Structure 1
Amino acid sequence: MSVYAIYFSPTRSTEKIVKILAKEFGNYGEIDLSKQSSGENVRAFKEEDICIFGVPSYGGRVPAPALERMKKMKGNQATAILVAVYGNRAYEDTLLELKEQVEACDFFVTGAVSAVAEHSIMHQFATKRPDKKDKKELKEFAVKLVEKIKTGHGKEGITVPGKKPYRTYKGVPLKPKASKKCTECGLCARLCPVGAISAQELRKTDKSKCISCMRCVENCPVKARKVSKLKVKLASLKMKKACADRKSNQLFL
């Protein structure tokens, strides 16, 4: 049996949460779906394997690049645990969409988790989460998942929140731009999950490709890439009511 932490995590919040869960299963391998090249090779799993799939919720949906890269996987009835990470607003259809995609790849879903992390654009929402309380709770979730699988109940299916048709998501108008501070080091182009930054024109962003994941903003060594402060402020005002209360992590067994 092998355990895999499989995640699409541009700003690493989802990665951290998936790893908190994976550690309770012992040693594990990693598959980073945030890399442009991650979907190039078909990866086949064994029935006895355990795969923990983690994605951020973008407007209540699974990021399209993550779905595309998962489609090439062959589950062979390996056990799957799903993780949807969101910035304290809501995750709507994310778990259901993830579940249906994973099942279409022939995995068997035995558990799921929704977890809160600091918002990747409006950092005042869920600031510094997952915090100490979250981490303790996530470890407790993992122990319950391990127990379910060890006791032979791992092949009992689950139901997750969500409905069809999935909610419409057209992206957000918050696209990072390079300021005069840009040194054209090229790191942003190498890290962009969708190739929205050309190595030949590093100061530009292809808005038709950009998914507003903020990976370039998070990783720029001189903090040259930014989004419009005015647009962020306006978006924050719209989100304030929905994000006012501390949302809870959830476990689905």
Structure 2
Amino acid sequence: MTIHQITFSPTGGTRRVSELLCAGIGITDTATELCSWEDDIAYPDIAADDLAVISMPVFAGRVPMLAVERLKRVSAHGARCVIVAVYGNRAYDDALVEMQDIATAAGFRVMAAVTAIAEHSVCRQLAAGRPDASDAAQLGEFGAAILARAALSAPIPEFTLPGHRPYREYSPCAVPEADDRCQGCGACAAQCPTRAIAPDHPQTTDPALCISCMRCVQVCPVHARGIGQRLSMLAVHLEPLCRERQENRLYLP
């Protein structure tokens, strides 16, 4: 059985969660990052007896559409998979059932699901430092439990995950722009998965292409990119909703 790690991780938190979970499962044979330039993605060809760990971030209670489109290009061949929804301590809303539907439509058999916490991709002070040591231990235990179940090779029972269909309406965050600290280095343009930032003019972002993933904010070496005054407004809104520590959860029928 080959273990495939498939992530869409604009700011690194989703990938870190996936790595901790996969550490409990065992050696990861292939790793695919879908949050890259399309030409740079080497889509894995997955055999029927393999196991895929598919991890995506939650954006306003939903899964990023770009991640959905790119997962559809993976050849699943009926392989089992674990879906992992990573959120910034507020809520994952309908993202988990959306991932279940997406993975099933792509040809996977969903055998387990995980919800996990990582530092909020926009308001970085929320869930700061997560996944932490406690998360690492818990995710490792989840991985071991998933491996034990996968080793049984038993039929996968139907199971119901939290969430609603139809999914909640997606409401995008603000489009990041650069301030006067920008030095024009182009790091943001080189890392933007949708090429919404022109290399020769990295101070602005094409709103028609931007998915508000905050990758450009994360990679800017001089912290010149952000969403301006919207950040403080969003923080005020989210702080009371994120005050209580949320814990990771494993759904394993």
- Name the residue aligned to 2:66: 65
- Name the residue aligned to 2:239: 240
Amino acid at match of 1:182: C
Q: Distance in 2 between matches of 1:60 and 1:181?
A: 32
Q: Which range is displaced more, 107-116 or 142-151?
A: 142-151
Q: Which range is displaced more, 39-48 or 189-198?
A: 39-48
Residue 69 of structure 1: how far off its partner (Å)? 0.3
Residue 40 of structure 1: how far off its partner (Å)? 6.6
Amino acid at match of 1:36: W
Q: Distance in 1 between matches of 2:93 and 2:40?
A: 26
Q: Deviations over 1:81-111 (max 9, x none)?
A: 0000000100011111111111111111100
Q: Deviations over 1:149-201 (max 9, x none)?
A: 1123363343211111110013012x221122222222211111111101232
**Gap runs ≥5 in structure 1:** none
- Name the residue aligned to 2:168: 167
* CA contact 1:113–1:251 (8 Å) conserved in 2: yes
- Name the residue aligned to 1:138: 139
TM-score w.r.t. the length of structure 2 is 0.94
Amino acid at match of 2:62: R
How many residue pairs end up in the alignment? 251
1:109-120 correspondence runs (5 A): 109-120=110-121
* CA contact 1:8–1:15 (8 Å) conserved in 2: yes
Amino acid at match of 1:246: R
Change (3 A) 1:218 1:154: farther
Q: Deviations over 1:124-167 (max 9, x none)?
A: 21111111111111111111111111123363343211111110
Change (3 A) 1:72 1:30: same
Residue 123 of structure 1: how far off its partner (Å)? 1.8
Q: Distance in 2 between matches of 1:180 and 1:27?
A: 45
Q: Distance in 1 between matches of 2:51 and 2:158?
A: 14
Residue 43 of structure 1: how far off its partner (Å)? 4.2
Amino acid at match of 1:68: E
Residue 36 of structure 1: how far off its partner (Å)? 2.1
Residue 58 of structure 1: how far off its partner (Å)? 0.3
* CA contact 1:192–1:215 (8 Å) conserved in 2: yes
Q: Deviations over 1:197-252 (max 9, x none)?
A: 01232111112221221111111122222221x31111112112211111111000
* CA contact 2:89–2:245 (8 Å) conserved in 1: yes
Q: Distance in 2 between matches of 1:154 and 1:81?
A: 15
Q: Deviations over 1:6-43 (max 9, x none)?
A: 00000010001111111223221100000121697664
Q: Distance in 1 between matches of 2:41 and 2:136?
A: 33
1:1-253 correspondence runs (5 A): 1-28=1-28, 29-37=30-38, 43-153=44-154, 155-173=156-174, 175-228=175-228, 230-253=229-252
Q: Distance in 2 between matches of 1:76 and 1:181?
A: 49
Residue 241 of structure 1 aligns to a residue whose secondary structure is helix
Change (3 A) 1:94 1:73: same
Amino acid at match of 1:187: A
Residue 24 of structure 1 aligns to a residue whose secondary structure is helix
Q: Distance in 2 between matches of 1:12 and 1:40?
A: 17
Amino acid at match of 2:82: I
Q: How much is the aligned-residue C-alpha RMSD, in angstroms?
A: 1.6
